[in-house]
Structure 1
Amino acid sequence: MKQKMTINPTYKQTFQLNLKMQKSLDVLKLGGADIHQIIQSLIQSNPFLELKENYQETDFNHLENIAQTHTLKDDLYVQLSAIKQDYNEMIIAYLIESLDQRGFLNLSAEQYMSDLQIDRSTFEKHLHILQSFEPIGVGAFDSYDSICIQLKHKHLDKSYKILRKSKELVLSKNNKKIASKYHMTKKEVNKIYEDIRSCNPFPCENYANESESIIIPDVDISVHNNNIIIQPYNDYSFSLNEKLYEAVKDNPDMKEYFQEAHFFLDNLSKRNQTVMLVANALVNIQKGYFLYNDELTSCTLEDVAEKCHYHISTISRTINAKYYMFHNEVYPLKNLLVSKSSTGDSSDAIKKAMQLLIENEDKSHPLSDQEIADALVDFDLHCSRRVINKYRKIMHIPASSQRKHK
């Protein structure tokens, strides 16, 4: 029988980031302090990049606010906003907020299921989402669990299964029993320990050790005659030394310096335009807050993306590590994003009403979470006891039994 080979071409549309686009996205993610450092470095090292004469060097450091750098939880929420999987916002937020300083969950699986009133499959689905975030190993119950997660992520399946099934043997380094039980050679057993040593038992330790850093806002927001004015805080003004380039353009090294300066200024301009566009959209949504000190309106990444005609991931990059100045105070731009409760009410409105109720409660008989939920109905706000419990923990407000004064 004669065989015949045929070729059936298929067409598939793909999208790939080239180096230029990737660099542009990298600049978009940078905060004001990072941009400030890059500019200072380029001015000193690149002969073609110059500050214009009318720009005051002191403008760089007009306001240097000392505050904590972005936290582990900040980064987790940013990653959460970019995923496409379906998830319950209350469940995943409860898990993130319960992480300790090392990035470990501080309750048992059974306690989480009881608190959230969910079954095991729902809990494990949301746990898997959390454990898929960077740094890999976050959302574990302890360092042992964290190493297992990292082994699985690295596709070191054999080491992962043996560590899961024979924890005591591995931790006690009972190599003979491991070799006998799994029919392994000494070299294969040693490979298991090499795989384990390649993992970090405390993958979130860098967040716990972060030092204080300078915060430089990107946007200055002010109110004049009942009008909101939004303008760049650091409107960097640069020029490229074209005359110098004409004189040395035949030198390949000098040409590379010139291209570097031109490329950075192009990306910086695009970054600043995007930040201003997103800030305008956020301020327009929250204008009641800036004009009348109203509670923040419900506003999600999807809402901003729709107004700006950008992808959600672009909005997430734009908001990340960006700050605005208002009334001489600096705030994260992401604070203008407010989630909705299941009934559509703003979480900011619920939190403010909760704060008011707790400040004015009878200290000898403080309000329980259910009583707070019932009292919120008078404010035309509706949420469950579990939501009150979650917000109370986020706001670092003790339970009623701990607030009681004898």
Structure 2
Amino acid sequence: MRAELWQEQRLKLSLTKELTQAIELLQYSAVELQSFLYEQSLDNPFLEIRDYRLKRSYRDSSDKEKQRWIENISTHSETLSLHLIAQLPALSLSEREERVVRYMIASLDEDGYLRVEIEEIAARLAISKQEAEKALQIIQSLEPAGVGARSLQECLYLQLKRLPHRDELAEQIVQHHFSLFVEKAWKTLAKQLDIDIASLQRVWDLIRTLEPRPGIHYTKEMPHFIVPDLIIERSDEGDWRIFCNDDVHPELAWNRAYEQKISGYRDGQVQSFIKDKYRQFLWLTKSLEQRKQTLLNIMHVIVDKQKQCLEAGFAALKPLTMREVAEELGIHESTVSRAVKNKYVQTPFGTVELRRFFSNAVSSVYADDDAASSVKVKMFIKQLIEQENKQRPLSDQKIADLLHERYGVAVSRRTVAKYREQLHIPSSAKRKQYVGK
């Protein structure tokens, strides 16, 4: 009975490990995937990577060129995920702990926030909530400070705790009085804390030096050379054809010659080693094919929905959400989100990020028009705010009125506020500049 239980636990751990790796593989960028496959080929002597130009050019180059190639990978392609994973070996985590931490790292958004509920992660990995929370604490201890936060409030608090000189007042305000503080209800807050306004201003100035988006510096520093995962071409007949970039999705092969060479050893450990590496090879082959097929399926839906955009450019972008694509393909929205993350597609008008084909719908006042793209509305909002009187900034309601009057787009005040926040533009009260300021 104990043996059966042990086998069941081992299988569950193995499945969890492979699930984590499959999710990581799905959301790797092209350059990250190339680096990952190269590492796998070093770890698995039976693994051969065929028709892989970057790998082939690496093998055929001189030692100096090899070093330069490696330096380019580390300098230009380190994303937030890779930066965090590189810090894990120093923590001496157990295999189980590292798998959970890696899963959470794969779940972070581009700003470095964890938008998935802890309970959901625990359920997916079949672990306790306490294990999931411990993994999150590990991530929050990594660099950059603030990574792994679930809200802006937590992000700032994590950074304050890491300052060389702790500021107890700032920590107290962010942890317990954040709403009053950011809304600048300072008179009320000063009275509650029995401090003066000057102290609040000092805390405000300190917090403005913190980074509200700890992952932003990594997502902006994407590779200087962009490798598209997908290629879209128009045939002579006018149809759109979609291909996967073979340089990103190479052919993997099992080195049978090496297997035969060491299979003669009757050592049980050798046989176990071969079986383990073969299972890894099968998983990697299956996961690569799954990644490739998922991207192709998503791109087929995008091409079907965004034909005008492909013909006329992003000015003709139609509303399309990841949820719509997920429903059409019968997969989870989070799968689409992970698959699209850090992916590029080569189009007739240039290589663009796959995310650019997605946009929320906003109703138009013109009945014969398609729903306006949220991208356009955000652009209008940004223009209006840039042109406003800084001493009398536009309220969200006034912006909504101007959108209706000037552009024929009907949106509510709440929608304007949501888009403004997504643009990281503060409210009118916080944008106001006083005379002489």
TM-score, normalization: structure 2? 0.51
Choose the corresponding residue for 2:320, options 299, 317, 337. Answer: 299
How many Å separate the matches in 2 of 1:141 and 1:389?
A: 22
Over 3 Å counting, the alpha-carbon distance change for 1:277 and 1:43 in structure 2 is same
Shift in Å at residue 397 of structure 1? 7.6
Shift in Å at residue 362 of structure 1? 10
* AA partner of residue 293 (structure 2): Q
Pairing 1:263–2:310 present: no
**Could you tell me whether the CA contact under 8 Å between 1:297 and 1:348 is conserved in 2?**
no
Match of 1:130 in 2: none
- Give the gaps of 5 or more residues in structure 2: 1-11, 59-68, 82-107, 121-143, 162-171, 178-209, 265-269, 365-370
Choose the corresponding residue for 1:207, options 202, 212, 215. Answer: 215
Shift in Å at residue 37 of structure 1? 0.6
Over 3 Å counting, the alpha-carbon distance change for 1:364 and 1:145 in structure 2 is closer
* AA partner of residue 347 (structure 1): S
Over 3 Å counting, the alpha-carbon distance change for 1:286 and 1:139 in structure 2 is farther
Range with greater deviation from structure 2 (33-42 or 364-373): 364-373
Pairing 1:218–2:229 present: yes
How many Å separate the matches in 2 of 1:376 and 1:298?
A: 18
Higher helix share: 2
Match of 1:56 in 2: 53
Secondary structure in structure 2 of the residue aligned to 1:383 = coil
Choose the corresponding residue for 1:332, options 353, 357, 361. Answer: 353
How many Å separate the matches in 2 of 1:334 and 1:70?
A: 18
Match of 1:384 in 2: 412
Pairing 1:238–2:266 present: no
How many Å separate the matches in 2 of 1:80 and 1:219?
A: 28
Shift in Å at residue 69 of structure 1? 4.2
Q: How many residues were matched structurally?
A: 290
Pairing 1:322–2:338 present: no
Per-residue CA distance 1:25-74 (angstroms, 9 max, x = gap): 3322322222111111233443322233x553478899999689469763
Over 3 Å counting, the alpha-carbon distance change for 1:263 and 1:386 in structure 2 is closer
Choose the corresponding residue for 1:28, options 23, 26, 29. Answer: 26
Pairing 1:143–2:157 present: yes
Over 3 Å counting, the alpha-carbon distance change for 1:364 and 1:23 in structure 2 is closer
Secondary structure in structure 2 of the residue aligned to 1:139 = helix
Match of 2:110 in 1: 74
How many Å separate the matches in 2 of 1:208 and 1:314?
A: 22
Choose the corresponding residue for 2:306, options 286, 290, 307. Answer: 286
CA RMSD between the two structures: 4.9
Match of 2:295 in 1: 275
Structure of greater Rg: 1
* AA partner of residue 74 (structure 1): E
How many Å separate the matches in 2 of 1:272 and 1:67?
A: 21
* AA partner of residue 305 (structure 1): A
How many Å separate the matches in 2 of 1:204 and 1:401?
A: 21
Per-residue CA distance 1:72-93 (angstroms, 9 max, x = gap): 7635788369999xxxxxxxxx
Range with greater deviation from structure 2 (283-292 or 41-50): 41-50
* AA partner of residue 232 (structure 2): I
Over 3 Å counting, the alpha-carbon distance change for 1:366 and 1:380 in structure 2 is same
Per-residue CA distance 1:184-223 (angstroms, 9 max, x = gap): xxxxxxxxxxxxxxxxxx8988636648342533222344
Per-residue CA distance 1:218-248 (angstroms, 9 max, x = gap): 2223445543332112241232222332343
Shift in Å at residue 382 of structure 1? 0.9
Secondary structure in structure 1 of the residue aligned to 2:154 = coil
How many Å separate the matches in 2 of 1:357 and 1:209?
A: 28
* AA partner of residue 275 (structure 1): L
Pairing 1:347–2:374 present: yes
Over 3 Å counting, the alpha-carbon distance change for 1:223 and 1:82 in structure 2 is farther
Shift in Å at residue 292 of structure 1? 1.9
Over 3 Å counting, the alpha-carbon distance change for 1:141 and 1:134 in structure 2 is closer
Over 3 Å counting, the alpha-carbon distance change for 1:79 and 1:280 in structure 2 is farther
Per-residue CA distance 1:281-316 (angstroms, 9 max, x = gap): 223222221112243222222201111111222222
- Give the gaps of 5 or more residues in structure 1: 1-15, 85-100, 104-132, 148-159, 166-201
TM-score, normalization: structure 1? 0.54
How many Å separate the matches in 2 of 1:263 and 1:143?
A: 41
**Could you tell me whether the CA contact under 8 Å between 1:102 and 1:204 is conserved in 2?**
no
